[in-house]
Every structure is written in structure tokens, then in C-alpha cells.
Structure 1
Amino acid sequence: MKNLYEDQANGLRKEFVNSDTKIISVLSGKGGVGKSIFAVNIAAKLASYNKKILLFDSDAGFANASILLGSNVKYTLSDYMKGKVSFLECVQETSYGIKIISTGFDFNDWKIFQNSFNNGIFDEFLIVSKEIDYLIIDVGAGYSEKLNNFYLNSDKIFLVTIPEPTAVVNAYSLLKALSFLGVKSEIDIVLNMVKDKEEVENVKSVLGETVKRFLNRNIEEFYEISYDSNVHISVKSQVPLVYLKETSKFSKDIKKIADSILNIKTINENFSFSKRLKKIFGIEN
């Protein structure tokens, strides 16, 4: 029986060697800038294109993606790690065609999770990931050394901020940490809650020049998302705004970013999804 399982597991790993699944991480320098709302709406928009999405809500202590999608969390990875449920029971289906895995962790659980992550759990994660087009990871605000593998193995990183001085400074601090870490993937800035075009140009100028001068790198893309009072209604009704009001400026801005995601490439075409996933969870150095 063991050999049969090993054969199935090996077959699954080989299947993912040529997988075109992309890993997208959504970050922010601080809380309160709309990071999770962005992640959920991007996931919902991509799902509307018939793309298969797995949303991994890894925001330790603040996991709320399922709430924003109108799903009640029944079981989390925290329950799984305590032996209460199977891995598959932690996977939530939503009415938007998005699967969600929520950590349910507090800040001290991450080390336990990473230390306990083994090939068996990895194989279960692969089974859930089978046939998905995009793994979207909602990462906790700010920089955490414990999440270095997440930063290093993403095909694309969206750094969400708002046109407010402290938020921009925090975004730059996170960019600096990622640069020193040696992150090679493209990092795009998403300027959220924009009310004035002038403030967009100011942030672009200041942040772009500072990053170029002190970090010796370019910000590949600046995206802006208009302030929309309907976001509050969306959160309250637990329906992504791209579904609630498809013609809103917010939804059009999200569509532009989702369209750009369709064209992203892996950070290394010879670096398979399964190998990157192993690195993310610390199985392989």
C-alpha cells in the first residue's frame, strides 16, 4: 500500500514538473491599505475568465479572505496541524469558483507549521493545487523573515499601498528589505484608494526615484485603483466589488491589473511549480 501511495505521489510530482501554474504574492508595508480586498478582487476577476484559482490566506492573525468572499471558515490549517481534520477539509469552495485555504494561525504558529511541513503534507497540497492556473498568496503586512521563501519564489509580487506618507514610507521599507533579500521576481506597485491624479504622480516620482537611487532597481509597473465608496458596501455584503458593480472605476482598474497577470511568466522556466512550492514551505533549500 505504501509503494502504491509513493508511486501516486511521484506521478503527481512529475505531472507538476511542466506545470504552468503561477505564484502571485500580495504584500503591503502596513495594514489598512486594502491588501486583502485587492487579493480577493483580483482572484475573483481571474476566476471570471475561467481561470482556476487557489487563494492561500497566509496573513497570520488577520486571515479574512474567506469573509470577503462570503464563506464561513469551517476548518483552517491550524486545525489540520492539530490533527483535528484532514487537509482536504481545510479547502473551502466559494460561489465564485475560487478555492481558499486559510492558515487560521496566530503569529507563533508559523514556525510550528514550517517545521512540521513534510513531503506528505506537500503531496496533499499538490493534490489541491492540481490544474490550478494561479496560486494567489495574501501575505501578512510588513516584512517577516519567516516568509522569505514566499518572497523569493513568487512569479509576481504586488505591493499595495495608498497615497499617504507613512504608507509610502512603509512600502519603500518593504521594497528595500526585498531588494536586500535578493528577490528577482517583478515587483509592481499598486496605489490604492486614489482620489487625485496629482497624488499618483507625486508617489510615482518620489518612490520611483528613491528606489532607483538607493536600491538600484526599477519599479516595473505602477498601477492605480480609484477610491470607491462601494468598497465598504462590498465588504459589508461579502461580495467582491468586481461582481457587485462590474462597471465601477474600481472594477475597471482591477480588470486592467488582472489582464496584465494573464501575460506573466515564471521567474525561471526550468524551475517547476512543485519545486517552488517546496521552497516556499521550507522542504527544499
Structure 2
Amino acid sequence: MSPGYQDQAESLRSQFKKSDTKIISISGGKGGVGKSVFAVNLSAELAKREKSVLLFDSDAGFANAAILLGKNVKYNMSDYIDGRATLDQCIQETKYGVDVISSGFDFKDWKLFQNGFTSSMTEDFFLKAKDHDYLIIDIGAGYSDKLNSFYLASDKIFLITIPEPTAIVNAYTLIKALSFIGVHSELDIILNMIREKSEIEPVKQVIKKTVSNFLGKDIANFYDVYYDKRVHDSIKSQTPIVNQNINNKFKKSLELIVDDILNIEPNNEKSFTKRFKNIFGMS
């Protein structure tokens, strides 16, 4: 362990208290699979169940979670990295009960996040996140080693894909990348934008085999989410569909997924504090 990590470890020993915060990462092998829409609606549904939620849109340069929540962001992570704002100032409250942190919207924000988001800032971020019941991380398409700590700390990873060959291949590649860095989080698959029931089983079998081969484990849950044009309408209105007074398959699917999340039994051997210490090589 490097001296830098030793210093981090000593600091965390004095700062950390036990927390039951659950960390859920939402990722996808490629863009256009509905990852951010899922992350926003998942967060909003948890907030409806009276849970405190921090949604981190980590897709620097392309962050849109705040936009989907109808929030004009005053400060984002590039302001924090550049010293123009505190981390507290970057946490933006929304009218849906979800706190959101954006990593930024343009190339400058992307460059700052890639080059300036240090390990000490990662510590600060996690320490702030422990004040919430749930940390939801909306991860950009594909794989970024800058976010390894977030993958490794997750209680659960939702991998979003759609029933198209390119999306399935990219999901396969992402699963291998997670295996390579030693991720052992519970893995759930969201097969999104289904139009025909016949699309489900072939995709399910391919992904199940991949997870078994590379992670040596079964998929914890496999969720089917059908296409609904009202999801697109909710994007335009910047209103999560779970907060609209309508009934559709997408909304019902999100409600069932959140039911399962809320039924996760706490694991004392995998507390938020213990997982965080493990990431930084702490005993």
C-alpha cells in the first residue's frame, strides 16, 4: 500500500462511523439503452418510499440526470475539483426528494474529472454519501477505470442492456472488465425497451452464461422492462414517470425493482464502512 493510501487510511479511521448506506451502480455497455432514465426513476421511486437518496451522475461531459429531474445545476463536480465550490454546494436538492450531484456537461468538465478527481476527493465523496440511505451512481456507457472505487464499493450493480446485438456484445465486454478488476457485487440485469416477449429468453441465456463464465456466479435478478412511448414523454417534460399519475409497464417494473431493493437484508460483514476500508487497503 502506497504512503498516500496509508495517510488516507489513518484519516478514515478517525472519521468513519458505521453507516447502513447502500450503494447501487447503474451501468451499461453502450449509450442509448436508457441508463440515465432508469437511474432517475429508481432514485425518485426510492424517495417516494421515504428514503434519502443521493444520485451521482458520473458521466462527466454528458451528465443529464439533473436535466431529467428538471433541475438547473448551479455547481457541478468540476467546480468542486477546481476549487470554485464545496462538495456540499454541489449537492443539489430536487423537487422529487432526490439530491443530485452532476459531474458536468461539457468537454472542460470531462477533462477536469478525468485529470483532477483525486483519491482524497473520492474519500470526501464517500464520507458525504454516508449521510443518505442510498447512493445511486449513474455510470457512463462502457468502462472507466476512474470509477473503479465506485464499482468495487457497490452493494448492487444494475447492468442495463437492450435486445440488440451491439448492446449485448458491449454488455458482455463490460462484464469481463468488472471481473478483471475483481468486482464481486450483486449483479442484476435490466433488459430494457422490450417490444416482443420472444426477445427476452435468447438475451437472458447469453448473459447468464457470460456472468457464470467470467464472474463464477449467477445473476442475482433479471428484470424485463417493456418499451413505452410515455417514457419519452416524461423525458421531454423533465418529470420522472414514477411521479406521474399514470399506470404503465415501465412504472410497474420500477416499483417491483424497488420492492426488491428494499428487501435486501443488511449484511453486517459488508457494512458501508467495511467496504470503504477494503477499497483503500485498510484493516
Mark yes or no: TM-score above 0.5.
Answer: yes
Q: Which residue does the alignment assign to 1:5?
A: none
Structure 1's 139 and 279: CA in aligned 2 closer, same or farther, altered over 3 A? Answer: farther
Q: Secondary structure at the match of 1:157?
A: strand
Q: Does 1:270 align with 2:269?
A: yes
Q: Which residue does the alignment assign to 2:217?
A: 217
Q: Secondary structure at the match of 2:110?
A: coil
d(CA) in 2 for partners of 1:25 and 1:128?
A: 13
How far did 1:23 drift?
0.4
How far did 1:224 drift?
1.1
Deviation digits for residues 5-33 of structure 1 (CA, Å, limit 9, x no counterpart): xxxx989944x32x111000000001110
Q: Does 1:164 align with 2:168?
A: no
How far did 1:177 drift?
1.3
Aligned pairs for 1:197-216 (under 5 A) are: 197-213=197-213, 215-216=215-216
Aligned pairs for 1:129-208 (under 5 A) are: 129-130=130-131, 132-208=132-208
Q: Secondary structure at the match of 2:118?
A: helix
How far did 1:264 drift?
2.3
Structure 1's 35 and 44: CA in aligned 2 closer, same or farther, altered over 3 A? Answer: same
d(CA) in 2 for partners of 1:139 and 1:279?
A: 21
Is the CA contact 1:117–1:283 (under 8 Å) kept in the aligned structure 2? Answer: no
Aligned amino acid, residue 200 of structure 2: V
How far did 1:153 drift?
1.1
Aligned pairs for 1:273-284 (under 5 A) are: 273-274=272-273, 276-277=275-276
Aligned pairs for 1:14-163 (under 5 A) are: 14=16, 16-17=17-18, 19-104=19-104, 105-107=109-111, 109-115=113-119, 117=121, 121=124, 126-127=127-128, 129-130=130-131, 132-163=132-163
Structure 1's 203 and 10: CA in aligned 2 closer, same or farther, altered over 3 A? Answer: closer
Structure 1's 144 and 217: CA in aligned 2 closer, same or farther, altered over 3 A? Answer: same
Q: Which residue does the alignment assign to 2:235?
A: 235
How far did 1:240 drift?
0.3
d(CA) in 2 for partners of 1:129 and 1:68?
A: 24
Structure 1's 29 and 269: CA in aligned 2 closer, same or farther, altered over 3 A? Answer: same
Q: Secondary structure at the match of 1:256?
A: helix
Deviation digits for residues 112-145 of structure 1 (CA, Å, limit 9, x no counterpart): 11255276x45xx635642x21110111111122
How far did 1:213 drift?
4.3
How far did 1:275 drift?
5.1
How far did 1:283 drift?
9.1
How far did 1:245 drift?
4.5
How far did 1:55 drift?
0.6
Q: Which consecutive residues of structure 1, in runs of 5 or more, have no partner in the other structure?
A: 1-8
Structure 1's 284 and 112: CA in aligned 2 closer, same or farther, altered over 3 A? Answer: farther
Deviation digits for residues 25-54 of structure 1 (CA, Å, limit 9, x no counterpart): 000001110000000000011111111101
Q: How many residues are aligned here?
A: 269
Structure 1's 205 and 284: CA in aligned 2 closer, same or farther, altered over 3 A? Answer: same
TM norm structure 1: 0.85
How far did 1:111 drift?
3.5
Is the CA contact 1:29–1:173 (under 8 Å) kept in the aligned structure 2? Answer: yes
Percent of aligned positions with the same letter in both sequences?
Answer: 55
TM norm structure 2: 0.86
Is the CA contact 2:20–2:133 (under 8 Å) kept in the aligned structure 1? Answer: yes
How far did 1:278 drift?
6.4
Aligned amino acid, residue 177 of structure 2: A
d(CA) in 2 for partners of 1:145 and 1:11?
A: 26
Deviation digits for residues 75-94 of structure 1 (CA, Å, limit 9, x no counterpart): 01211221212222111001
Structure 1's 236 and 215: CA in aligned 2 closer, same or farther, altered over 3 A? Answer: same
Structure 1's 41 and 108: CA in aligned 2 closer, same or farther, altered over 3 A? Answer: same
Q: Which consecutive residues of structure 2, in runs of 5 or more, have no partner in the other structure?
A: 1-10
